[in-house]
Every structure is written in C-alpha cells, then in structure tokens.
Structure 1
C-alpha cells in the first residue's frame, strides 16, 4: 500500500530541489567564469565598479562592511603614516587608485599606509579584489570612516553633524577635502590623493610641507602636517578655516583654497613665489616640479606614447583624475611605464585593462 505525501511535505521537497538546482547553477557559472577569465579561485581578480556619481548616502550606512572602523579605540596610526581617502560610494578601488597606494607603500617600506573608505567595503571586495593584493604589503592597511563619528571631539563635530555636504555640487570631493584635513588634525602624517603616483620616498622632504600647483595656488593633493608645534598650528588653522568658511558652491574652496588662505595668513608675504621655510614660520612650500611636474593643461603627456620632459625632480605625479579618468593609457606612454615600475603588482593584475 502506498501513502500519499502531504501537501506541506511536497512543497518543502520542491523548495529544496529549487535551492539545490540554484546552487548547482551558481557553481557552474563560477567555474565557467574562472575558466574563461583564467582566474585562480585562490587569487584576487578584476572587479569593476559602476560610477556612483555625486551620491554620498553610503557614508551613513552602518552594515555590510568588512573593514575595521577608524573610530575604534584600537585604530591608532603612527604620526608619520601616509593616508588616502576614498569618498565615493563604489566601495572599492579601481586600478589607478590601487596603483597609487602600491607606489606609496613601495616607496615607504618603513612607514604605514592607510586607505580610508567612506563607503562600506563588502567581504567579497575585501577578499577578492585588488584590495586583497594590496593587503599583502605589510605596511598597507584599510579602515572605514563613519564621518559623523570620526569628527566627534574635534572642532568640526557640529559642522559635520549638520550635514554640510548635502548642498554641495561636488559632494564626493568636498567630503574628501574635509576628511584629509580632519585626518591630519587627528593623527598627523602625509595625505595623498588617490591619483598621486609616488616615484620617490617623501621622507627626506621633512615633516611639515605643502606644494604649489602653480604660482597662484597651493594644491592639497599632497600635504604633510606633523604632530609637532608647527604642525599643530597649521592643522588647527586649516580646520578652523574649514569650520568658518566652508562653501558648498565652489569647487576648490575647501581643499586647495583652504590651505592657500591659511598660508596667506601664516606667511610673511602674499607673494607665493617667496613662500618658504623662512617666510612661512618653518613650513616648507615646495615648487610644482616636486608634486605637480606636469600642469593639468598638459595632462595628455601622461597618456600619449613618448617621454616626459622636465619631470626629473618629481617625487609624485598628479594624474588629474577629474580630467583624465576616461582617457586611454597608450602603450609606451609615461603613465604606463611608470605603472610598470612603481606599481608592478597592480599593473600585472590588470594587464591590458589597467587604467580602463
């Protein structure tokens, strides 16, 4: 005699079969992807991120994060550390950004390099993307910034809590402007933009410095502020300048503009050509040839095949990402050759896809 199966048991069996089939399909798709793209299951692989534009809502998300928090008591960088901030909502690094991080780590094996994310970074991205490659460098670290908490017990606490970025035309960039100065105020060290390729150690340059982009502006894509008396004075002045004069409607006002305005007050002369340690109370102001050897008006030189002229004294190269992010990197271009030399791990990982 045969017993009829109850409707409930029949439903559960069908559900289990569907789940099993789904798992099999997922496994097959993964195997096919790995085989097609020649990816080792143990090795990181290229993950592409969609542009998230001006969206910064992710800055206030508390879940789905594989990174340790920069607000945790255990987070305590050394005062000579190097910091990068990634303030988009992509939740990962592209090849150009990863190249910048690797170049900084290779140039400074005795210094710690921190990549600070404003967005959550998922476990998959943390374990399988280019971040996994960078984590193999013993001096590279990653942390998540929750900006409201990060600003607590600083002069910017109430300003940041008020949500000043929501009215900005450049929310991602203005968040980065504020965070770079806040990080140097909290910890001291060196801040670099994620489109800064490092080609020499910055250590010989000293503990407190900034660099001119041209004769009219000090850029903030590379800046060092220490924990000594001078560094604390500069950090406090810049933070108070941000607090008092933050503008959501002007592109450079809160980044390069802020440090330039502070230096106009700090230095004995308003002539940028005369700014130096002797005129700026001990703060070194380097010329464009050290950090911005190729002006943004000549940015194509990095991406076209050929040789760079006049960049022999450079410590970094600013790649002007806002203007060049969609430019093709030609074979034998200066950028390609520098990537092979200064970020070989990331360049090898991406191959022909590097920079695209």
Structure 2
C-alpha cells in the first residue's frame, strides 16, 4: 500500500502511523498467497490542486470498461492536467490492454466505499485537487474554477465529483467528522450524508432544498422519456454558494437520476430507442454518473444506441474500440 498521508495504521503492537510513500501489506489479503514474476515498481508522486484524482477500491488487478472509460474521458478532456488513479491492489497487471502503456500510481486502500470516501477527504484536505468517482464519465471539460461540487437530488449534496483547494474548511470538517459519522450499516454515512451535513455546518441557513423536482413516472413511456432527456431547463438553474464553494444544480454532474422508485438510472442502458443521441444532443452536463454500485449487473453492448454506449464512443474511444474488438460488453 503506497500511503499518500497518515490514513492507515499498521498491525504492529504500537500502531505506528504509516509514513508518506511507505508500502504496507494490510488490505486485499487474498493477494498474499499470490506471486508476481515481475511486480510493477512505481514511484510516489503526490497530487496537487491541478490533479484529477480517482480511487479504485475493489482490489482488482485491472480496470473494467466503465472504470477505464472514466479515466480516459477525464484525460481526453483535460490534456494539460495530470490524472492520478489510486488502486487497492499490491500490484496491477501492466500487460492488460486497458492499462498497458500508461503510468499508474498505486495506492492500496480498503476494499470498500468507506475507504474511498475517507481517502478522498484526506487526500483533498492535504493536497487539494479534483476528485471523480470511477464510474463518472467526463462529457466535456470540467468547470474552469476550483471549490465546487454538486447536488445529486433535492436534499443531498455529494462529493462524487468535487474540486477543492488544499486545506479548505470543508475538507477539514469532513476529515474531523469521519470517526463520529462512520456507520458500518449505512453506506452513505461518510459519503453524501457527511458532505451534506458538513456543508450545513459550514454555511448554516444558506443551503436550501433544490427546486428541481422533475422525475420520471414511467421509464417505459418513450414520449415521457424523450421529454425528460430533452428538457434543458434544469441546466440553467442558479448554482448555490456556500462560503467560496459553488454547489452546482443536480443535472450538471448527475443528469440521469439514480432514484429507486422511477427507474431513471436504467435509461443509461436501454437500446433501440435513440436515447443516447437525444441525451447528448441536448445535455449540458459535465459528466455522466453510471451508479455502478446499483447498476453493476446491467450490460450494454458496443454498437448500440444507449446513453452509456454513445457517451463511451464519443468520450473514451480507445476503451470503446478495445471492448468492441473483444466481447463487446461494456
């Protein structure tokens, strides 16, 4: 584990705090029985406020198509910025076609969303930068500013995409609140729930519920879906301001909702209805979140016209064409 900051403690009796750039064999225990003929030796280089940061916390030895597309799309739209990926594995398969030829920075953290949330808070506190979830595809260059994040629904603000300067008060509150806020039975306890409560602490009385409330009532009705996808009014909602933070309206980073009772998120994968072109023709969103923790069983095939396929084809063509040349499953 290449530790970017004192996030992890060893299992030594004294609980010595890991030093920056020090390797620890703590997590992903199944790898302890594996041997690699030629492990990759990468040097530590800390991020900075101009870096785009991802964390892959599944202990995988390579990336799936969605993850690889998230990285490629961010890099293609930000050729002047470094893109750094921290992964929870003691080594990676550098021969894999989706990884080969790229310089990856390895950081082994906990195999869970909790460690992703915790490491994001500490990395941004110590170094600053722009963090993106590994299932968020970049559709166009991100805002040309720092200190922003976005709503994911009327009541919740999330850090799935967040840009912040080093030592910002928000990141200080997040890191300080982690131990008390952590609830192993609530997956969002140190994610969106903590981000929202931290912003309310930072700007008491300044944050209100979003006024955007359009939801699909029937995701199988083509006319309703088309109207939903082509409605541009949400993109012109006024952003909220909290101290020097900009909180973008829901649709700017999460244009397709995740909501359980409407089925909106499944629009990402529907084929044969032209939804992909309709969405990309009118969307002004910076990114497209795929909600992989909820949609990991959903498949899309290259060569179709779903929203996910169209977005991948246009924004991560290298990954898309590699997948198209294999089994075609995105």
The CA deviation at 1:272 is: 3.4
Unaligned runs of 5+ in 1: 1-54, 136-140, 148-164, 166-170
Determine the C-alpha separation between the residues in 2 that align with 1:100 and 1:203: 17
Consecutive aligned runs of 4 or more in structure 1 exceeding 6 Å deviation: 59-63, 274-278
Give the match for residue 299 of structure 1: 265
Give the match for residue 272 of structure 1: 209
Match status 1:219 vs 2:158: yes
Retained in 1: the 8 A contact 2:240–2:248? no
If the length of structure 2 is used for normalisation, what is the TM-score?
Answer: 0.73
Give the match for residue 315 of structure 1: 286
Determine the C-alpha separation between the residues in 2 that align with 1:201 and 1:58: 39
Retained in 2: the 8 A contact 1:88–1:118? yes
The CA deviation at 1:57 is: 2.9
Answer with 1 or 2: which has the greater Rg. 1
Determine the C-alpha separation between the residues in 2 that align with 1:93 and 1:279: 36
If the length of structure 1 is used for normalisation, what is the TM-score?
Answer: 0.68
The CA deviation at 1:355 is: 4.1
The CA deviation at 1:66 is: 1.4
Match status 1:283 vs 2:254: no
CA displacement 1:100-150 (0-9 Å, x = unmatched)? 10000000000100011121224xx113331115x1xxxxx4212244xxx
Determine the C-alpha separation between the residues in 1 that align with 2:320 and 2:198: 39
The structure whose residues are more often helix, as a share, is: 1
Give the match for residue 256 of structure 1: 192
Give the match for residue 120 of structure 2: 180
Work out which of the residue numbers 75, 78, 81 in structure 2 matches 1:111.
81
Determine the C-alpha separation between the residues in 2 that align with 1:131 and 1:215: 38
> Does the residue aligned with 1:98 lie in a helix, a strand or coil?
helix
Determine the C-alpha separation between the residues in 2 that align with 1:244 and 1:176: 17
The CA deviation at 1:221 is: 1.2
Give the match for residue 312 of structure 2: 339
